[in-house]
Amino acid sequence: MKSSTAPNIRLENLTIGYGGNPVVKDLNIEFPGGKLSMVIGGSGSGKSTLLKHILQLQPPISGEIFIGEHNMGKLSRRERHCIRQRTGVLFQDGAMLGSLKLIDNIALPLREHTKLSEEQIMRIVQDRLAMMGLGHALELYPNELSGGMRKRAGLARALVMDPQVLFCDEPTSGLDPVMSAELDQLLLEMMCHFDMTMVVVTHDLASMRGLADHVVILGESKCLYQGTIEELEKTEDPYLRRFLDRAAEERDAPRLTMAPISQEMMKLNCNSIMGEKDTVRKDPQCSS
Amino acid sequence: MAEKARGKIFPFTFPCTICKDFVDELGGMFLFLLESAMLIFAGWGQFPKIIRQVYFIGVQSVSVIALIGLFSGMVMGMQLYYALATFGADGFLGTGVALSMVRELAPVLTAIMLTGRAGSAMTAEIGVMRISEQIDALTIMDINPMRYLVAPKLAASLICFPILTAFFNLIALWGGWLTGVKLLGANEGVYWSRVTDALEWVDIEGGFIKSIVFGILVCTICTFEGYYTHIRSGHSGPEGVSQSTTNAVVKSCVVILASDYVMTSLLW
């Protein structure tokens, strides 16, 4: 088995938030190099905020972020330039530039940062789009693509510079289960094809079970867990247990059935909607 | 105690906060302008982007500017003719139309029309890019969004505003001739000779200086508002973009008229 040269990502005493108000405090996390790490947590737990801070789109309140040996807060202009060119990001909705065709969107980083000829650029772009199954959509604009296609196009753009680190922000959100599974499969294939460290922010627990080498769980303004999925399965922590049981329930969930609403419940609902003092509703169900 | 103290301080702190915010925004805008002005010259790659913006801001605005110029000139020709004819001075119609258009109305009306047509579009475009993470994507790809989005718009504004102002002047003088001479019967030869006699280089130069300054102001305000849509307190998402667009248009129009007064005082 070949050893990975992809850098690890280390967060040291990191407190992140907006305008001085912390969202997550004192994070000490290491995302191992060459592995697929997943950051999981409920809505508002700070997953996307963490991603923005690692990507230096927001300054942290305190603490440090290292990618490999580079302290992201103390980079020179040239170092930042190098690291950004070796970093790919798949945004939640692809974030493709609306004014450019798909082919130009994917070619943009190559045109801006390399001295490759237009012919070479086109060859790389077509190769990446073919990998994503978008070889037929070169001339389309982003608004002509479906949600799943936009995400795959975003992935193609993220991979066009052969990154060593790939960040994905909720890659399966808004996709149907079939499409989600396809995208997960695609991410795995890309992991095998490119030697890179991948950090995926998601709340899709099925993806976590299927993909993650390393899991980080955020909640209650802190890191609740970091480690392998196998260790997580054995945990006795009540919060994490509930979290995992919920994941299992989601997987084996029975079909919900419609039960008739009782008269009592109907009355209660009407009162809570209209307020207790408002009893002059014409609906006989409510006034009875 | 603290409540009491706050109550006493409030009448003073409120205007101070407004002043501080105003100075903050003004300073931010100035630095934004400086950075984007420097980035105009960031390599040959800027050239095609500037050409695209010249097409959008300039070429696509020609018809609107022509219409506004025509009707402004026609109204000016009619009103001045009636006013001057009262004193038997209708021979000065050409002088009146030419000076009012070249010195004042052409730069101001062109700038206001371009604010409505191109400035609002600049704000909305950049604002939507901001809320849909496209600007973040550019940053992550190590493509400076200021260089990619703002600098070409500034360069194109510097090119288009004076050219469209000149075009407005031509159409407006022709509009004045249409009503004054063709409809109301002023002498054609006198009209055009007064136009050429009245206009001096300093008038034309002043009009161009104004249009360049308006171009810088409109582009800076509109792109600044769009670029910082996401930090507008209380408004986010599409509502933030609409708020930014409204702010950009209102601020641009006010700044155009205020700076017009200042420049007129200084130039003539």
Give the tokens for residue A229: 């999925």
Handedness of CA B256, B261, B262, B268 (dihedral sign): positive
Kindly indicate the confidence band of residue A20, based on its pLDDT and cuts at 50, 70 and 90. Answer: confident
pLDDT greater at residue B208 or residue A229: B208
Contact A81/B142, CB-based, under 8 Å? yes
pLDDT value at residue B14: 73
Tally of domains within chain A: 1
In-domain check, residue A56: yes
Give chain A positions within 8 Å (CB) of B136.
52, 55, 57, 91, 95
Phi-psi region of B55 (alpha: psi -120 to 50; beta: other; left: phi over 0): alpha
A92 within some domain: no
User: Which residues 6+ apart lie within 8 Å of B159 measured at CB?
Assistant: B50, B54, B58
Whether residue B137 and residue A89 make contact (CB cut-off 8 A), yes or no, is yes
Residue A166 per-residue DSSP state: E
Identify all chain B residues contacting A111, using CB atoms and an 8 Å cutoff: 45
Q: Evaluate if residue A107 carries a pLDDT over 80.
A: yes
With an 8 Å Cβ cutoff, is B137 touching chain A?
yes
Residue A214 C-alpha, separation from nearest chain B C-alpha, in angstroms: 24
- Tell whether B142 lies on the interface with A, counting CB pairs under 8 A: yes
B48 shares contact with chain A (CB less than 8 Å): no
Residues of B in contact with A55 (CB under 8 A): 136, 140
Tell me whether residue A283 is in a domain. no
> Which amino acid is located at A143 in the chain?
N
Give the residue carrying structure tokens 């955020």: A218
What residues form DSSP beta bridges with A71? A66
Smallest Cα distance from B34 to chain A, Å: 19
Model confidence at B103: pLDDT above 90: yes
Which of A12-26, A88-102, A271-285, B164-178 is predicted least confidently? A271-285
Instruction: Starting at the earlier edge strand, list the strands of the sheet with A62-67.
Output: A21-31, A9-18, A62-67, A70-71
Does residue A140 sit within a domain?
no
Kindly list the residues from chain B whose CB atom is less than 8 angstroms away from the CB atom of residue A108.
Answer: 141, 143
Q: Could you tell me the pLDDT band of residue A222, with boundaries at 50, 70 and 90?
A: confident
pLDDT of residue A276: 46
Report the residue of A77, A91, A155, A168 to disrupt the B interface, i.e. the one with the largest count of B CBs within 10 Å: A91
pLDDT at residue A237 in the model: 83
User: For A28-80, what is each residue's pLDDT tens digit?
Assistant: 999 998 899 999 888 888 888 999 999 988 899 999 999 988 898 888 888 88
Helices and strands, counts by H and E, chain B: 12, 0
Answer yes or no: are the C-beta atoms of B70 and B171 closer than 8 Å. Answer: yes
CB–CB of B140 and A55 under 8 A? yes
In whole angstroms, give the CA distance from residue A28 to residue A15: 10
Domain membership flag for residue A188: no
Between chains, do B141 and A91 touch, taking CB under 8 Å as contact? Answer: no
DSSP state of A276: T
What is chain A's mean pLDDT, rounded? 83
Mean pLDDT of B127-142: 93
Give the mean pLDDT of A82-107: 91
CB contact under 8 A, A85 and B142: yes
Specify the range with the lowest mean pLDDT, choosing from A79-88, A256-265, B24-33.
A256-265
pTM above 0.80, yes or no: yes
Least confident of A52-66, A220-234, B61-75, B242-256: A220-234
Decide: A160 and A125 in contact? Cβ < 8 Å: yes
CB-based contact B66:B171 (threshold 8 Å): yes
A111/chain B closest Cα distance in angstroms: 9
C-alpha A13/C-alpha A30 separation (Å) is 11
Q: A226 lies in a domain?
A: yes
Q: Looking at residues B226-245, what average pLDDT do you find?
A: 84
Is A149 domain-assigned? no
pLDDT at B18: 84
Q: Which residues contact B260 (CB under 8 A, 6 or more apart)?
A: B104, B107, B108, B210, B214
Q: Do A112 and B142 touch (CB under 8 A)?
A: yes
Q: What is the pLDDT of residue A251?
A: 58
- For residue A281, pLDDT over 50 is answered with no
The 10s digit of each residue's pLDDT in B138-190 is 999 999 999 999 999 999 999 999 999 999 999 999 999 999 999 998 899 99
Q: Do B141 and A98 touch (CB under 8 A)?
A: no
Contacts of A80 in chain B (CB under 8 A): 142
Which of A76, A97, A106 should we substitute to test contact with B (largest number of B Cβ atoms within 10 Å)? A97
Residue A222 belongs to domain spanning: 1-86+165-174+197-275
Residue A14 is assigned to a structural domain of this protein: yes
CB B99 within 8 A of CB B201: no
CB nearest to B136's CB, from A57, A98, A111: A57
- In this complex, is the C-beta atom of B141 within 8 Å of any C-beta atom belonging to chain A? yes
Q: What is the dihedral of CA A39, B137, B121, B63, to 10 degrees?
A: -150
Share of chain B above pLDDT 70, in %: 94
Q: What is the pLDDT of residue A259?
A: 57
* Tens-place pLDDT, residues A161-201: 989 999 999 888 888 888 888 888 888 888 888 889 999 99
Q: CA-to-CA distance for A200 and A186, rounded, in angstroms?
A: 13
Q: What is the average per-residue pLDDT within B109-131?
A: 95
Measure A155 CA to nearest chain B CA, in Å. Answer: 12
- Residue A207 belongs to domain with CATH number: 3.40.50.300
Q: Which residues of B230-240 are buried (b: 16+ CB within 10 A; e: fewer)?
A: bebeebeeeeb
Asked whether residue A144 carries a pLDDT value surpassing 60, the answer given is yes
- The reply to whether residue A89 touches residue B142, judged by beta carbons under 8 angstroms, is no
pLDDT given at position A109: 93
B133 touches chain A (CB under 8 A): yes
Q: Which of B46, B266, B257 is nearest to A112 (CA)?
A: B46
Name the closest residue on chain A to residue B46, using Cα atoms: A112
**Mind telling me how many Å the CA of B15 is from chain A's nearest CA?**
23
**Is B134 close to A92, i.e. CB distance below 8 A?**
no
